Structure 1
């Protein structure tokens, strides 16, 4: 005949240390704060601008030419950082391009990046209002 043992006596009883309602309340507060922050961030008066590399040309082992295309809602001056990469993805040259304020919504800027060795691509790192 099988002997029935008392499992509480053998393993002990696990007691809940936090109330069941705590984690849903923490999640609700976190979601509320996230939505409030997103709403606040979307209503700030920051001018919208976007930039991209339109084209690039590796002129020689020491020079890469980059053509930036910039779109902006307001005539703000921008500072754009571009860099050139070699085939092994090492940054071999970089330059900060100052773009003056303009009423034009779309602007193209061409600049040369001096490189320490031959580059294979040009990349836009950032473009921020000055």
Structure 2
């Protein structure tokens, strides 16, 4: 063994077969993890629903009308939870409204919900694909 070979081995400058395999396995696992994260991101955004409250109207002491719009994947049904609250932010009305599948990407609706006390606001709490 030459002096250079002894120094290389002593200070870890040699490439062993196991070390190369470990490097390739690490690279492969990194690629697989990146593909899984990318797939999960695309899959979750493909079925996402974005809802915005555009207004509310107090019809009387027992009824609130909420207008809202949402965007959803075409061809999928959507359900939205509409909520009314009193002055102390307590929930006084709650209703789940379901919408049939449509090819339209964005839709606007008006929901009327009964309340148990005087409400001061109404809004869309959440929407999801059914």
Q: Normalization by structure 1: what TM-score?
A: 0.67
Structure 2's unaligned 5+ residue stretches are 1-29
The answer on whether the counterparts of 2:48 and 2:128 sit within 8 Å (CA) in structure 1 is no
CA distance in 1, matches of 2:92, 2:102: 31
Task: Name the structure 2 match of 1:90.
Answer: 90
Q: Normalization by structure 2: what TM-score?
A: 0.67
Matches within 5 A, 1:38-49: 38-44=37-43, 46-49=46-49
The answer on whether the counterparts of 2:48 and 2:129 sit within 8 Å (CA) in structure 1 is no
- More helix per residue: 1 or 2? 2
CA distance in 2, matches of 1:128, 1:97: 11
Output the aligned Cα RMSD: 2.2
Structure 1's unaligned 5+ residue stretches are 1-31
CA distance in 2, matches of 1:73, 1:56: 25
Matches within 5 A, 1:16-31: none
Using the TM superposition, give the Cα deviation of residue 75 of structure 1 relative to its aligned residue in structure 2, in angstroms: 2.1
Using the TM superposition, give the Cα deviation of residue 37 of structure 1 relative to its aligned residue in structure 2, in angstroms: 6.0
SS at match of 2:47: coil
